[in-house]
């Protein structure tokens, strides 16, 4: 009996969560405005309650999937009794309704985390922060309940079996990519709530930035990993070896990342130097707004994308209203309450302050560039000027040079000082590193590829320019004070910048030195690609849990080597949807990937086979992981823990 | 006061963007190539290739998602396209052919030689229906949904890759 009621329990839990969100938003905000501690005290328990009920709803939907309850429309459309259990779980968020439920679960989770880990926050601040997060929850819970109910039943005609999960999504990468990405997207709601709370409270000092910094770093780290996972997934699952397509949905995740990157740097300046106050608030609002915009672009289908999601204009309209109210109101609050006179903090043009300002400006230019490229087709269409699509040429032509300029200043940042520094000192710190970067960067393509390549050189020089001055700085510091005295925050910065350099090397090398061959092969044939011999030894048909597959077996050997290894790409036909899929065979390595994908059956027993050699492709994602690790490491810094242990909240705000 | 106005700039920028996003909601980005998309399949009355006595009209295309393929014996790429069409038919998708600017004899010969994936073929020797459809040449393929509305238009030869990446997802979308 209870088992049959699971979808209704989930639905009811969502309604209760909405009611809790209402109380979580209204009581504490009103309490903070009228200084009533009792009203403010609603914030914490309501955040916990809301999280509990959203979690219950999520578990109910997961249970419906695991129990193959095809009377639930969502399950019938996206699952199948033959689907392995782990894909049944990940199918929960492989569709519109479920992924919105995951979104709101993340939001409730972040609110709950703020409620748990902010014991030292002033009551009024906490009340406002949780109140604002509650407001956002209200919007999204209402969105789910009104337009996208995941628990809708198909009664009385219950299908015998489900339509199956899209085979593209039946993959490990897709189990973890959306949750990670959403953790990042939604995590920026915390810094957003802090910024608005600071505006409402009228105390726009550096204190809010210190509280918001760890949350921002964590959200940013999740987003970084999420984007890297998405790129990795596209690389091995789509079967053509690309890792970034400048697709609107990818751009939607890149936009908050770029703005978030600017934000974590700007937060540092505001915390340490009390400068850029309004700017930091605006960035905090923008970053979360871009997350919401990303949600809108993906969920409304206003832009064409390789990610085919179900589109429904009424949903698009609802999200646009949410976006409009949230962003519009917060920008209005910003316009009314941002500090009238910016507190002038003097700094020289050759200082860390100035460099971080330039960093911010460049990152914002990059954000606007990507935003324009993404919405440009929409703008033209809306103006009746025809339908066009903005392709990779536009993005590459602008994004690559901007990145190089950004690197130029990024190399200077870590070795500069706050406020001002002498030109001579900077010169002394950078000259050798700069020269080495130039020489190695220009010579390396000659040695590696046999001929000079401008783009590879540009990439390598940029990357080395980021790394070498830091190494030199570390060397100086190890002699003066010893490496143990360096703070975790410093190490976080080092890792983050190193990650950027690693990614840049990956991009430069894989974009210029990849080899791709399309060949026709039958068992017994072999082909040479990039110094490897690929011999097709076997071709067999097999049956998987919910698909049929043709498997080709290759013996691959490096030229001159005696040891060989096996690679076995597959062409699968998924039964429920009759949809064919390419299962790539990968031989990953730190310095090169070998990539074999089956194309078409050419009927005479041979197949069209796509073989690719991808040097340094792993560096793309390795860099992302390093950046994320840097972000997390910075949060672990003693500074944040000590504050929680000793400093009383009130004094902290004044400090 | 001036500073206050500057602080309004982000809000104004956002408002302008939202107007465009709102317009965007009512525009279909896929409506790029054919003026016929989302319109009814044009009305027609013709005999079938197989049986000159049998008359068919628009109602032939209603009730089931159908791929309408325009072909002719005179068209070499249509021959290359046949394996993909046979493959689609094998997957249970309903195909209807339009034998375009052809003679009955040659059309039937073509089907004999290259296989017949079509449930039925509309005989269009003068190219009248093709003109209504805005066909440039053969082959061209239209996806018609169960209400007889054109949902997708493919110009030229359908490659095996197109079958997998375009045609099947489109068929599924409207099924």
Of A507, A506, A504, A495, the residue nearest A414 (C-alpha): A495
The set of residues, in sequence order, having a beta carbon less than 8 Å from that of B74 and lying 6+ positions away, is: B101, B102, B106
Q: Does residue B48 contact residue B57 with C-beta atoms inside 8 Å?
A: no
Residues B42-71 have a mean pLDDT of 89
Q: What is the CA radius of gyration of chain B?
A: 22
- pLDDT at residue A273, as a whole number: 84
- pLDDT at residue A578, as a whole number: 67
pLDDT at A436 over 60: yes
pLDDT at A36 over 70: yes
- B-facing residues of A in 384-443 (CB < 8 A) are 387
The per-residue DSSP string of A9-64 comes to HHHHHHHHHHHHHHHHHHHHHHHHHHT-HHHHTTHHHHHHHHHHHHHHHHHHHHHH
Burial class (CB in 10 A: 0-12, 13-18, 19+), B24: buried
Peptide bond before residue B164 is cis, with ω within 30 degrees of 0: no
Cα separation, A172 vs A90, whole angstroms? 9
Q: Structural domain of residue B148, as residue ranges?
A: 30-174
- Is A324–B7 a contact, with Cβ atoms under 8 angstroms apart? no
Q: Rounded to 5 degrees, what angle do the CA atoms A53, A57, A62 make?
A: 145
Residues A626-630 have a mean pLDDT of 97
Number of domains in chain B: 1
Please report, for the domain that includes residue B154, its CATH number.
Answer: 3.40.30.10
Residues A287, A288, A292, A294, CA torsion sign? positive
Cα separation, A470 vs A476, whole angstroms? 10
Higher pLDDT, A238 or A321: A321
| Crossing angle of helices A207-237 and A172-201, rounded to 10° | 160
What are the structure tokens assigned to A250, written together?
A: 């990818």
Q: Does residue A78 contact residue A169 with C-beta atoms inside 8 Å?
A: no
- B-facing residues of A in 163-202 (CB < 8 A) are none
- pLDDT at residue A169, as a whole number: 81
B24 band by pLDDT with thresholds 50, 70 and 90: confident
Cα separation, B114 vs B140, whole angstroms? 17
In a domain, B25, yes or no: no
Chain A residues touching B81 at Cβ < 8 A = none
Residues A620-624 have a mean pLDDT of 96
SS3 sequence of chain B? CHHHHHHCHHHHHHHHHHHHHHHHHCCCCCCCCCCCCCCECCCCEEEECCCCCCEEEHHHHCCCCEEEEEECCCCHHHHHHHHHHHHHHHCCCEEEEEEECCCHHHHHHHHHHHCCCCCEEEEECCCHHHHHHCCCCCCEEEEECCCCEEEEEEECCCCHHHHHHHHHHHHHHHC
What are the structure tokens assigned to A489, written together?
A: 């925050």
For the segment A566-598, what is each residue's pLDDT rounded down to a tens digit?
Answer: 999 998 888 776 667 888 999 999 999 999 998
- pLDDT at residue A138, as a whole number: 97
Candidate from A609-618, B38-47, B86-95 with smallest mean pLDDT: B38-47
Q: What percent of chain A has pLDDT over 70?
A: 93
A303 band by pLDDT with thresholds 50, 70 and 90: low
Report the residue from B3, B25, B29 with minimal CB separation from A320: B25
CB of A578 less than 8 A from some CB of B: yes
- Is B160–A600 a contact, with Cβ atoms under 8 angstroms apart? yes
A144 band by pLDDT with thresholds 50, 70 and 90: very high
The set of residues, in sequence order, having a beta carbon less than 8 Å from that of A612 and lying 6+ positions away, is: A241, A514, A515, A516, A517, A529, A593, A594, A595, A596, A597
Residues A370-390 have a mean pLDDT of 75
Cα separation, A70 vs A60, whole angstroms? 14
- pLDDT at residue B157, as a whole number: 74
- Is A577–B172 a contact, with Cβ atoms under 8 angstroms apart? yes
- pLDDT at residue A184, as a whole number: 95
In a domain, B9, yes or no: no
Cα separation, A319 vs A358, whole angstroms? 34
Give the side-chain half-sphere CA count within 13 A for B75: 24
The H-or-E segment that residue A548 falls in is strand A547-558
- B-facing residues of A in 59-98 (CB < 8 A) are none
Q: Rounded to 5 degrees, what angle do the CA atoms A212, A213, A219 make?
A: 90
- pLDDT at residue A395, as a whole number: 87
pLDDT at A307 over 80: no
- pLDDT at residue B30, as a whole number: 44
In a domain, B130, yes or no: yes
Residues A78-99 have a mean pLDDT of 90
Q: Rounded to 5 degrees, what angle do the CA atoms A306, A312, A318 make?
A: 115
Cα separation, A423 vs A412, whole angstroms? 12
Q: Does residue B135 contact residue B33 with C-beta atoms inside 8 Å?
A: no
A6 band by pLDDT with thresholds 50, 70 and 90: very high
A653 band by pLDDT with thresholds 50, 70 and 90: very low
Cα separation, B91 vs B70, whole angstroms? 20
Minimal CA separation from A546 to chain B, in Å: 17
Cα separation, A151 vs A242, whole angstroms? 37
- Is B21–A286 a contact, with Cβ atoms under 8 angstroms apart? no
What are the structure tokens assigned to A247, written together?
A: 């697709």
pLDDT at B18 over 70: yes
- For A568-593, b/e burial (b = at least 16 CB within 10 A) is bbbbbbbbbbebbbbbbbbeeeeebb
In a domain, B36, yes or no: yes
Residues B14-19 have a mean pLDDT of 88
Of B80, B84, B79, the residue nearest B67 (C-alpha): B84
- pLDDT at residue A301, as a whole number: 63
CB of A246 less than 8 A from some CB of B: no
Q: Does residue B148 contact residue B41 with C-beta atoms inside 8 Å?
A: yes
Cα separation, A626 vs A590, whole angstroms? 15
Residues A19-41 have a mean pLDDT of 95
- pLDDT at residue A380, as a whole number: 76
Let me know how many helices (H) and strands (E) chain A has, helices first: 20, 10
Cα separation, B55 vs A390, whole angstroms? 47
Burial class (CB in 10 A: 0-12, 13-18, 19+), A428: exposed
- pLDDT at residue B1, as a whole number: 57
- Is B7–A320 a contact, with Cβ atoms under 8 angstroms apart? no
In a domain, B24, yes or no: no
Average pLDDT, chain A: 87
Cα separation, A317 vs A592, whole angstroms? 46
A318 band by pLDDT with thresholds 50, 70 and 90: confident
B156 backbone dihedrals φ, ψ, rounded to 5°: 90, -175
Residues A225-242 have a mean pLDDT of 87
The per-residue DSSP string of A316-332 comes to HHHHHHHHHHHHHHHHH
Candidate from A188-202, A220-234, A348-362, B121-135 with smallest mean pLDDT: B121-135
Report the residue from B24, B161, B169 with minimal CB separation from A378: B24
- Is A334–B30 a contact, with Cβ atoms under 8 angstroms apart? no
The set of residues, in sequence order, having a beta carbon less than 8 Å from that of A288 and lying 6+ positions away, is: A188, A189, A191, A192, A256
Of A409, A575, A592, the residue nearest A515 (C-alpha): A592
- pLDDT at residue A340, as a whole number: 59
pLDDT at A329 over 90: yes
Q: Does residue A353 contact residue B26 with C-beta atoms inside 8 Å?
A: no
- pLDDT at residue A228, as a whole number: 96
pLDDT at A501 over 90: yes
Residues A225-248 have a mean pLDDT of 86
Cα separation, B145 vs B36, whole angstroms? 13
pTM for the model: 0.81
- pLDDT at residue A311, as a whole number: 53
- pLDDT at residue A655, as a whole number: 30
CB atoms within 10 A of CB A640: 17
Candidate from A361-375, B22-36, B65-79, B150-164 with smallest mean pLDDT: B22-36
Residues A35-59 have a mean pLDDT of 96
Residues A486-503 have a mean pLDDT of 93
CB of B18 less than 8 A from some CB of A: yes
Interface test with A, best of B5, B29, B170 (most A CBs within 10 A): B29
């Amino acid at each position: 009996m209870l088992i049959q009621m699971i979808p209704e329990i989930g639905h009811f839990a969502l309604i209760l969560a909405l009611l809790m969100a209402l109380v979580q938003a209204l009581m504490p905000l009103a309490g903070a405005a009228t200084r009533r501690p009792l009203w403010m005290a609603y914030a914490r328990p309501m955040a916990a309650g809301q999280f509990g009920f959203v979690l219950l709803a999520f578990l109910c939907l997961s249970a419906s999937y695991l129990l193959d309850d095809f009377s639930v429309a969502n399950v019938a459309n996206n699952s199948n009794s033959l689907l392995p259990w782990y894909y049944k779980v990940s199918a929960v968020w492989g569709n519109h309704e479920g992924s919105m439920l995951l979104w709101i679960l993340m939001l409730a989770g972040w609110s709950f985390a703020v409620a748990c880990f902010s014991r030292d926050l002033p009551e009024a601040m906490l009340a406002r922060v949780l109140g604002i997060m509650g407001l956002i929850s209200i919007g999204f819970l209402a969105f789910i309940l009104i337009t996208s109910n995941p628990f809708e039943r198909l009664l009385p005609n219950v299908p015998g079996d489900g339509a199956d999960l899209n085979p593209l999504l039946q993959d490990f990468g897709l189990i973890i990519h959306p949750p990670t990405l959403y953790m990042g997207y939604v995590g920026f709601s915390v810094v957003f709530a802090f910024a608005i709370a600071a505006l409402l409270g009228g105390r726009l000092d550096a204190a809010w930035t210190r509280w918001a910094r760890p949350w921002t770093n964590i959200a940013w780290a999740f987003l970084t990993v999420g984007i890297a996972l998405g790129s990795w997934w596209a690389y091995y699952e789509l079967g053509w070896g690309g890792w970034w397509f400048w697709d609107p949905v990818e751009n939607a995740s890149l936009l908050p990342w770029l703005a978030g990157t600017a934000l974590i740097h700007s937060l540092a300046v505001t915390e340490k130097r009390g400068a850029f106050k309004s700017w930091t608030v605006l960035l905090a609002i923008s970053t979360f707004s871009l997350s919401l915009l990303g949600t809108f672009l993906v969920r409304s289908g206003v832009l064409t994308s390789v990610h085919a999601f179900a589109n429904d204009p009424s949903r698009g309209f609802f999200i646009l209203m949410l976006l409009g109210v949230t962003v519009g109101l917060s920008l209005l609050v910003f316009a009314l309450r941002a500090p009238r006179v910016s507190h002038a903090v003097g700094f020289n043009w050759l200082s860390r302050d100035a460099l971080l300002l330039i960093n911010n400006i460049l990152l914002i230019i990059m954000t606007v560039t990507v935003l324009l490229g993404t919405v440009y087709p929409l703008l033209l269409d809306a103006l009746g000027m025809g339908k066009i699509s903005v392709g990779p040429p536009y993005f590459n032509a602008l994004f690559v040079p901007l990145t190089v300029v950004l690197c130029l200043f990024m190399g200077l940042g870590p070795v500069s000082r706050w406020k001002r520094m002498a030109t001579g000192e900077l010169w002394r710190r950078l000259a050798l590193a700069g020269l080495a970067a130039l020489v190695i960067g220009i010579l390396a393509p000659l040695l590696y590829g046999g001929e000079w390549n401008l783009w590879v050189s540009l990439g390598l020089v940029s990357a080395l320019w980021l790394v070498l001055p830091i190494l030199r700085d570390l060397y100086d510091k190890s002699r003066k004070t010893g490496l143990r005295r360096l703070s975790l925050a410093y190490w976080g910065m080092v890792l983050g910048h190193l990650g950027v350099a690693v990614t840049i090397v990956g991009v430069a090398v894989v974009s210029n030195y990849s080899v791709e061959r399309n060949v026709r092969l039958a068992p017994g044939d072999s082909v040479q690609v990039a110094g490897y011999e690929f011999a097709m030894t076997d071709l067999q048909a097999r049956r998987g849990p919910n698909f049929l597959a043709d498997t080709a077996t290759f013996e691959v050997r490096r030229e001159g080597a005696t040891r060989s290894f096996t690679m076995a790409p597959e062409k699968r036909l998924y039964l429920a949807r009759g949809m064919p899929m390419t299962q790539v065979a990968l031989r990953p390595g730190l310095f090169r990937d070998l990539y074999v994908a089956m194309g078409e059956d050419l009927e005479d027993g041979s197949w069209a086979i796509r073989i690719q050699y991808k040097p340094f492709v792993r560096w793309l994602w390795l860099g992302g992981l390093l950046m994320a690790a840097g972000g997390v490491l910075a949060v672990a810094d003693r500074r944040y823990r000590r504050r929680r242990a000793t400093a009383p909240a009130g004094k902290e705000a004044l400090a | 006061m001036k500073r206050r106005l500057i602080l309004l700039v982000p809000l104004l920028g956002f408002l302008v963007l939202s107007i465009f996003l709102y317009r965007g909601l009512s525009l279909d980005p896929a409506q790029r190539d054919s003026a016929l998309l989302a319109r009814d399949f044009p009305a027609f009355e013709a005999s079938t290739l197989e049986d000159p006595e049998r008359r068919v009209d628009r109602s032939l295309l209603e009730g089931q998602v159908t791929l309408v393929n325009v072909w002719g014996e005179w068209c070499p790429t249509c021959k290359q396209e046949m394996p993909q069409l046979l493959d689609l038919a094998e997957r249970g998708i309903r195909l209807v052919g339009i034998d375009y600017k052809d003679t009955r004899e040659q059309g039937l010969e073509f089907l004999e030689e290259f296989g017949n994936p079509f449930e039925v073929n509309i005989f269009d020797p003068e190219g009248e229906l093709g003109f209504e459809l805005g066909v440039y040449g053969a082959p061209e393929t239209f996806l018609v949904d169960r209400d007889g509305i054109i949902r997708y238009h493919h110009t030229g030869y359908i490659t095996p890759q197109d079958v997998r990446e375009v045609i099947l997802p489109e068929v599924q979308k409207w099924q």
